[in-house]
Each structure stands twice: as structure tokens, then as C-alpha cells.
Amino acid sequence: MTVELLKELSDAVIDGNKDKSVELTNKLLDLGMNAKDILDNGLLPGMEVVGIRFRDNIIFVPQVLISARAMKSSLALLEPLLSKAELKGSGTVIIGTVKGDIHDIGKNIVAMMLRSSGFSVIDLGIDTRAEKFLDAIKKENAEIVGMSALLTTTMGYMKTVIDRIKEENILVKVMVGGAPISKAFADQIGADGYAKNATDAVKLAKSLIGIVTKEETVE
Ligand code: B12
């Protein structure tokens, strides 16, 4: 039954049916499914299909936008549950999507998961310039800055931000992510870490500030 409902939820995201997506998310929560499972097994697989269809020119920007809207409406229901842990004291993370890039679904999930693991997260939103990152890092005395980029044309901007951080000798760990980013790219631009998804982003953030033991650190 829940497997079918999760499949229906994926389909609602694919179809961009916001009302259905919200209804099914609530139904799964009522049935006792935890928010992380709904995200991983319902919403994300739906968005994956949207990505493939967009890539293959089967659907176009307007359809992707309505799918993103459906996904975001469901995420809004999951956020307070994912953020419930509130284990304060892990550290402060500044996060944002870099300049020129407006993709924020993945970045929002990473922010949500970090909050649920006790990090204090300041989300600078989308299309974020280096100055904005630097100002926030200094103002909040942040331990970590996380940058997201979904476009091959914007991923290079991460290096601009890292170079600025180095120029100003700011002591902050940099983690990067987003679909086109790889560990090799992260190393090349001088980031301290890369994570391929939100779960690994949390492990990475913890390892960057020395919370976990060596065996648990992310490659
Ligand atoms: C949804 C979407 C859109 C939506 C965005 C809505 C929104 N509010 O975010 C809209 C319609 C606005 C859009 C616009 C465009 N898009 Co678009 N979009 C997508 C799509 C289908 C899904 C992205 C997504 O949300 N994925 C789901 C999330 C959960 O995954 P994620 O973002 O990868 O995040 C996870 C990890 O990467 C990681 N992560 C992410 N951020 C971070 C940060 C840190 C610090 C860490 C550690 C980890 C981490 O954790 C996340 C959670 O697990 C992708 C396809 C794809 N396969 O990625 C194309 C895609 C990214 N878009 C693409 C393109 C071309 C565009 C446009 C240029 C289209 C156009 N012609 O106008 C514009 C660009 C606008 C701009 N200036 O940014 C291309 C990019 C190609 C390229 N090589 O650069 C893609 C790959 C589609 C394709 N195959 O052609 N898009």
C-alpha cells in the first residue's frame, strides 16, 4: 500500500500535480512513514524522471517548473519534521546557490538535512555573489560554507568564491555540490569537500568540523 502511494507521489511530481503531491505526502505521514523515506522514495525519484525527460527534450522549462512547485509544496510539509532533531551546537553553515544559477531544490534539501542534524543554517538563496557569501561568513563567524551549482556555466563561479575566501584569509571550510560537481572538480578548485547528496552532505559537514570519527568520514 505505501509502496503504491510512494509511486503515486513520484507520478504527482512528474505530472506537476501540486494538490495530489500534497495530499499524498500528508497521507503517507498519517500512515506513519518518516519524512526522510517520503523524500528519498517518493519525491526524489519523481524529480529524477523529470530531469531525464527535460534532458531528452520530452518536456520543457514550464513543465519542469510546475514539477518543481509540486515538489516544493511537499517539501514544505516535510521540513518541520526533518528539522525536528534540533541538536543544537554543531556549528553554523552558510549555504547558497552561486551567481547566475537559480536551481534551489537540492540546496534546500541539503539545508533542511543540515538543520535536522543540529547545524544552524543561514540560507542565502539563489544567484549568490561572492560578496554576499563573504559578508555572511564573516558576520556569522561560520565554520562552513556550502555552495550549490546545477549548471556547467555556473559551477566555475565556485572557484571565484573560494579564491576570494583565500585572498581574505578567512578560516572557513568550503563544501560544494550539485549535479555537475564531482570530487575531482572540488579538489581542482580548492574546496575542502564534495558530497553527492544531502545525506552525505551532513556526514561531510560533520567531518569538516571534526564531529565524526575517521571511519565515518566521507570520501
Ligand atoms: C528543476 C530544474 C530546473 C528548474 C529549477 C527550479 C528550482 N527552483 O530549483 C528550472 C525550470 C527553473 C530550471 C531552469 C534552467 N535549467 Co534546469 N534543471 C532542473 C532539473 C530537471 C532538476 C534539478 C533538481 O532540482 N534536481 C533534484 C535535486 C534534489 O537534486 P540536485 O539539485 O542535484 O541536489 C542534490 C545534490 O546535487 C546535492 N547538492 C546540491 N546542492 C548542494 C550543495 C552542497 C554544498 C552539497 C554538499 C550538496 C549539494 O544534494 C542534493 C540533494 O540530494 C535538472 C536536471 C538534473 N538532472 O539535475 C535541470 C538542469 C540542471 N537544468 C538545466 C538547464 C540547461 C536549465 C536552464 C538553462 C534551461 C533554460 N534553457 O532556461 C535554466 C537555467 C536557469 C538558471 N539561470 O539557473 C540543465 C543543465 C545542463 C548543464 N550542463 O549545465 C539540467 C542538467 C537539465 C538538462 N539535462 O539539460 N531548471
**Every domain of the chain and the residues it spans:** 2-82, 92-216
Residues 6+ apart with CB under 8 A from 54: 60, 61, 63, 64
CATH superfamily of 2-82: Methionine synthase domain (1.10.1240.10)
Mean of the pLDDT values across residues 68-82?
90
DSSP string, 12-41: HHHHT-HHHHHHHHHHHHHTT--HHHHIII
Q: Is the CB of 107 under 6 A from ligand 1?
A: yes
Answer yes or no: same fold for 2-82 and 92-216: no
Q: Which residue has the higher pLDDT, 51 or 67?
A: 67
The average confidence (pLDDT) of the chain is 91
How many Å lie between the centroid of ligand 1 and the Cα of residue 60? Answer: 13
**Alpha-carbon gap, residue 84 to 81, rounded angstroms:** 5
* 105-116 and 61-82 helices, crossing angle to 10°: 0
pTM metric for this prediction: 0.86
pLDDT, residue 115, reads 81
pLDDT, residue 97, reads 98
| CATH node for 92-216 | 3.40.50.280
How many Å lie between the centroid of ligand 1 and the Cα of residue 174? Answer: 20
SS3 143: coil
